Each structure stands twice: as C-alpha cells, then as structure tokens.
C-alpha cells in the first residue's frame, strides 16, 4: 500500500489494488488443498442454510480445477432431493489477518487487511455409489502428513454403519472468482518487514509465496 494520507489514503483503502485480481489456477488449487473447508450454498436447497464441508479438488493435466468432491449427512436432504442437480457456490477462505503499522518501521504506513479467498461455482450432483470411496479419499489426503496415517479399515464395521448415513457428491466446476490480497503492491522494504514480523505465519508464508511465484 502506498504511504499516503488524507482522502487519497481513504480511497486507497476502499479500492483494492488491481494485483489482487491477478491469480491463476495453481493458486486456487493450492489454497483449496491447504484450506479445504468450504462454505457451500445454493438458493435451490430445501433450506437456505449453507453447509460447511471439507472438499477435495481435482484438476486436469493443465492444472485447471474441473471438479470438487465431498460427502455430507443424508439427513440434510429428503431422499427425493438427492436425485436433483443443484447450482452451488463453494467459498474457500485461506489465511487472513489485520496488518498493523507496528510491524513496519515507517509510521506513515497505513494499516490494511490481507487475505486469500476463492469462490467456485458449479453443478452439484449426488453419487450414492461413490460414498465409500469419497470417505476413503478424504481420509487418505488428510492423514498423509501424519507420522502413522490412520486408515478407514481400522474403524471396522463401525465405519460401514456410519457410511450408511452419508452420501457422496461432486461439483462440476464452471466458474471461479478469487482474490489474493497478499501485499503485492508493497515496497520491498515494507513487504519484508511484514513477512518477518507478522504473528500469523501462515499469512506471511502465503505473502512470500505470491512474491516468489507471481501468477503466470
């Protein structure tokens, strides 16, 4: 952010830099894989409340996200409603935090809020025959980094019983809107101080990632 004051500064705060809109599919894919919990909403659902569910993203050989995968509790939808496709939005929120002037040496610098988020639009369809595989896929991805990864088989018959109460779904992605406000417009000196001093190390890491790997 430029070091301005008065009306020009206020205008700067209210109008995010054009660089916020510069991203590519690899950025969105990385965001989803690190922050997989999505807020999923649709105006056509039996009720208007959003769902909060972890999703897996699948990309084509060019890295473009084509599909999201997940599962949910059957009790949320009457059986007849499991047959219909739904137009949905899935919002993923990555690191976000206030950035204080206390982090930098220039006291004329104006505070801001950095964040990363992506909204994917598409058609959701239920797939009852894929439910067990969907659970296995999510467990595998979530457990991969553990020192002794847990497997679904270890739960035995209990997992089989619980699986009867959930249903798998996919979202065929047909649109993406994202914003990555990660200090792209800061001077090298200010940027380095923020990255070095900010207490939210996930945010600092994503800021550095965008600086080191700008959108293609």
DSSP letter string, 124-139:
EEEEGGGHHHHHHHHH
Euclidean distance between CA atoms 91 and 40, whole angstroms: 6
Q: How confident is the model at residue 18 (pLDDT cuts 50, 70, 90)?
A: low
Tens of pLDDT, residues 156-185: 999 999 999 999 999 999 999 999 999 999
Q: What is the pLDDT of residue 19?
A: 61
Is pLDDT above 70 for 7? no
Q: Give 129-135's long-range contacts (Cβ < 8 A, gap of 24+).
A: 130/168, 130/170, 131/71, 131/163, 131/166, 131/167, 131/168, 132/163, 133/168, 134/69, 134/70, 134/71, 134/168, 134/169, 135/71, 135/159, 135/163, 135/166, 135/168
Nearest to 96 by CA among 205, 211, 206, 203: 203
Q: Which fold has domain 14-212?
A: Pnp Oxidase; Chain A (2.30.110)
Q: In which order are the strands placed within the sheet that holds 112-127?
A: 51-54, 37-41, 86-99, 112-127, 166-181, 65-73, 56-59
Cβ within 8 Å of residue 149, ≥6 positions away: 140, 143
pLDDT band at 207 (very low <50, low <70, confident <90, very high): very high
- What is the tens place of the pLDDT at every residue in 20-47? 668 889 999 999 999 999 999 998 887 7
Per DSSP, the three-state class of 30 is helix
Q: What was the pLDDT predicted at 2?
A: 38
| pTM (2 d.p.) | 0.87
Average pLDDT over residues 5-34: 67
Residues 6+ apart with CB under 8 A from 195: 183, 204, 207, 208
What are the b/e assignments for 74-90, b being 16+ CB within 10 Å? Answer: beebeeeeeeeebebbb
Q: Which two tokens stand for residue 3?
A: 């070091």
Query: For residues 183 and 12, what is the distance between their CA atoms, to the nearest angstrom?
Result: 13
């Amino acid at each position: 952010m430029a070091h301005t004051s008065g009306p020009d500064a206020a205008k700067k705060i209210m109008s995010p830099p054009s660089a916020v809109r510069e991203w590519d599919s690899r950025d969105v894919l990385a965001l989803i894989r690190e922050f997989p919990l999505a807020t999923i909403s649709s105006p056509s659902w039996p009720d208007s409340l959003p769902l909060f569910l972890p999703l897996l993203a699948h990309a084509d050989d060019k890295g473009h996200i084509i599909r999201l995968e997940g599962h949910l509790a059957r009790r949320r939808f009457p059986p007849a409603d499991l047959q219909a496709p739904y137009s949905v939005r899935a919002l993923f929120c990555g690191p976000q935090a206030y950035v204080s002037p206390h982090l930098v040496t220039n006291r004329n610098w104006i505070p801001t809020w950095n964040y990363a988020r992506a909204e994917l639009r598409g058609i959701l369809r239920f797939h009852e025959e894929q439910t067990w595989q969907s659970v296995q896929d999510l467990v595998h991805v979530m457990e991969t980094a553990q020192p002794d990864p847990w497997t679904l088989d270890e739960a035995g018959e209990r997992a089989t019983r619980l699986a009867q109460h959930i249903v798998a779904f996919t979202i065929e992605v047909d649109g993406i809107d994202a914003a990555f406000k990660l200090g792209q417009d800061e001077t090298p000196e200010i940027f380095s101080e923020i990255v070095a001093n900010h207490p939210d190390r996930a945010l600092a890491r994503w800021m550095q990632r965008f600086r080191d790997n700008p959108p293609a």
